[in-house]
Amino acid sequence: MLFSEIYGSYFRVVAAVLTEACGASLSPGRLTAIVQEKAFAESALSIPGALRSGTWPLLDDQLRSVLKHRPTMPLTLLQKRWMKALLSDPRMALFEPDATGLETVEPLYPPDTFRFFDQYADGDPYTDPDYIACFRTVRKAMEEKRKLRIRFQGKTGVRHSAAYIPYRLEYSPKDDKFRLLVWQKGRLYTINMARMRSCELLEQYDPDTVPSFRPHTAELTLLLHDERNGLERVLLHFSHFEKETRKLDERLYQIKLRYDQNDETELLIRVLSFGPVLEVQSPAEFVRLVKDRVHKQLGYPQHTVPVLPKTAGCPHSDGSHRC
């Protein structure tokens, strides 16, 4: 809570509200508009109501700021230590971040503090000099719109060497690996960064000649039962997805996520990790994947629907898919 909310989305948007409400009253419509403009879409469900009702006692009855001065937001020592800990991650070092002003700050925790149980252990070699050199060359090529000659080893062990146009760099949290999407002769290919043996910068290319790529996206509809602080946990966990959140009842929300179908397996595992808090509504194919994964974990044959007692976690005996 200390690290995610200090100067996080809520703090920034409330600071913007107080800045505009300093010496002048806000209309309810303007208050909502500021929240919608500067925060996540679902924040409009909670922030305006908390400010108007006095739950957050920062505005008076006329929606004017109770502060005498406009809010300022200097970094705290805790934030600096948090930032220094983040910059200690070898993945962050690949992007050569500017750590000016943090030279004498002690990291809040060392990099080996956390152990990930839902992530493969054979992640990329982030501290390997050859890997770092290839990664930074790829970044430079993308920034300067230059082609790359990439020498890499394929899945079967065959070595390849060819010129490509770098398109996009992606990271998979589940695999703990970076992958590069490249164009060659009108086709899009994926190369794992760890398989690269060397990268060489080539001539510049005209970005207008590169065809636009639209990923195969799908929409997942979920029902969120707000138990055990479920709303906050789910919205934080899926914060990087394009989504819509709608309140249906006092503790029931509908969430629509749009995702790349190439990441469907990873999304399935993440949805299942919330247990009965999330209920999958659609699409039917994703519901089938949920059933198959749960049946496999319980040791049932695929595509069978066992009759379980009501105390079982998933699938439920009432036929729902809250997994």
- Give the pLDDT band of residue 306 (cuts 50, 70, 90): very low
Q: Report whether 275 contacts 296 (CB < 8 A).
A: no
pLDDT tens readout for residues 24-50: 778 888 888 888 887 776 777 788 888
Q: Are strands 242-249 and 159-172 parallel, antiparallel or unpaired?
A: unpaired
186: left (phi over 0), alpha (psi -120 to 50) or beta: left
pLDDT tens readout for residues 118-157: 677 788 899 999 999 999 999 999 999 999 999 998 877 8
- 301 has a pLDDT exceeding 70: no
Q: In three state form, how does the secondary structure of 98-123 look?
A: CCCCCCCCCCCCCHHHCCCCCCCCCC
Which whole number is the average pLDDT over 182-187? Answer: 84
Greater confidence (265 vs 5) lies with: 265
Which whole number is the average pLDDT over 2-29? Answer: 76
Instruction: Supply the pLDDT for residue 220.
Output: 82
- 311 has a pLDDT exceeding 80: no
- 323 has a pLDDT exceeding 50: no
